[in-house]
Amino acid sequence: MDPTTSTAAAGLTVAGAAVSTSALHVAGVPLGLHADVLLAGFFGSLVSIILLNTVPGGMDTWQQLLRTSVRRLAVAWASSITAGYLAPLALLVANVPPALLLSMAFLVGAGAQRVLVALMRRYWPEAEGG
C-alpha cells in the first residue's frame, strides 16, 4: 500500500470536515445559522466598529465607557446574526458563487448597522424618534 494514499485521504477528510459545518441549535431547535458565517459577520462588524467608528463613544466617565462598550458588543452581536441570516440571501440575490459566502458574510456584518438604519428610516420614519 502506498503511504501517500492514506495521508492524502486523511488530508481530504480533515479539509472536508473544516468546510462542512453543521447548523447551530438552541434547546434542540435548529437556527439555520452556521458558525463560520457568524464568525465572518462578527469580524466584519469589528472592522466596522474599529476602523469606521460606527459606534462612537465618549470617554468622560466610567459609566459612559461602560455604556459604549455594551453598545459596541450589542452591535457586534446583532451584525453577526444579521450576517448569518442575510449573507446566504445576498448570495442568491447578487448571483454570487457559493465559494464567496464568508466574504459576503464579512461585508454584510460590516455594513449591517448602516444598512438597517437606512431601511428603518425609509420604511418606518416615525420609529426614529428615539
Q: Give the span between the Cα atoms of 30 and 52, in whole angstroms.
A: 34
Q: How far apart are CA 15 and CA 27, in angstroms?
A: 29
Give 22-78 pLDDT, tens digit per residue.
Answer: 677 777 777 778 889 999 999 999 998 888 777 777 777 888 888 888 888 998 999
Is the per-residue pLDDT at 3 higher than 90? no
